[in-house]
Amino acid sequence: MSQPLSGIVIVTVAINLPGPLAASRLTELGARVIKVEPPTGDPLKSVAPAWYAELTAGQEVIELDLKSPSDRSRFEDLLVDADMLLTSMRPSALARLNLEEILKRRRIALVEIVGHDGPRAEQPGHDLTYQATQGTLQPPTLPLVPIADVLGAERAVVACLSALRQREQGETDVRERVVLEEAARAASAGVRHGLTSPGAMLGGASPLYGIYPTADGFLAVAALEPHFAARLAAHVGQTRQDLTREFALHPTAHWTELGQIHDIPLVAVREAARAVPELALAQSLPTNNHESE
């Protein structure tokens, strides 16, 4: 089967996250993705090599020093046949690349991922700072999922599809900007509207929606709908006290099997993997983020 982006060529200079996440998805959709990395490589490769390998699968990875005249010339040669350029850096860093003329001349769409927009466009940041600003953290715990980066990547994919559509419609100067702070704000909607914040309906207020210890682990319970709640009450209990007592009596597998038999959303909690010491050390090393270059 033909893929929707078959024949599309995308050059990306985006490193870390979320640019590589977006580029990976575009590759899955059939685009030919050429990833240009600095001579130092993508920091993600040293921190999470297996993830880096997943995200670059099927792509052409080229190391170029864009400050070198010869490498800059090679980079511009790559753009000759490109439909789109994907970047993830602060606006000033993008301006220093001085690509406006070649992008317009070749009708190359530009999708740029930035941390902030407007007066704060040059302010550096990472997923952690975007989440901190939007109230999706519970200090001092660090987030297990880089929500702003992941959602920002999906927004970048949509922006790329939008940009390609605009080119098809005859637009000659197509430019889309994805702002990670805005992605973080979108992700915080549940908190802002009082649905998932601590003590809210999905934040601990309901005994039917929560995590309970079992005899050998933890169980996620999500029996909010009346029919699920009725089945949970019939086979386990309905008050927090009852549920806490009953779930602790048997191992997790017992409860997941009961959930499957009686059609109740009961799922074992898979504990987060811990980083090996070498990767933990690598994560502590300073790296340039996508906005700070």
Q: Which two tokens stand for residue 51?
A: 């993830």
The answer to whether residue 287 scores a pLDDT higher than 70 is no
Q: Which two tokens stand for residue 258?
A: 């009961």
Shared fold status for 9-191 and 206-268? no
Closest alpha carbon to 135 in 120, 125, 148: 148
What integer pLDDT is reported at residue 273 of this predicted model? 82
pTM over 0.75: yes
The answer to whether residue 30 scores a pLDDT higher than 70 is yes
Q: How confident is the model at residue 274 (pLDDT cuts 50, 70, 90)?
A: confident
Residue 98 zone, left/alpha/beta (φ > 0; ψ -120 to 50; rest)? left
Q: What is the pLDDT of residues 92-132, one digit of tens each?
A: 999 999 999 999 999 999 999 999 999 999 999 999 999 99
Share of the chain above pLDDT 90, in %: 90
Q: How many Cα atoms are found within 13 Å in the side-chain-facing hemisphere of 253? A: 0
What integer pLDDT is reported at residue 1 of this predicted model? 65
Q: How confident is the model at residue 29 (pLDDT cuts 50, 70, 90)?
A: very high
Q: What is the pLDDT of residues 198-242, one digit of tens each?
A: 999 999 999 999 999 999 999 999 999 999 999 999 999 999 999
CB of 236 closer than 8 Å to CB of 246: yes
The answer to whether residue 292 scores a pLDDT higher than 70 is no
What is the rounded CA–CA span in Å between residue 255 and residue 247?
8
Domain segments of the chain: what residues?
Answer: 9-191, 206-268
The answer to whether residue 43 scores a pLDDT higher than 90 is yes
CATH topology for the 206-268 domain: formyl-coa transferase, domain 3 (3.30.1540)
What is the rounded CA–CA span in Å between residue 162 and residue 147?
22
CATH number for the region 9-191 comes to 3.40.50.10540
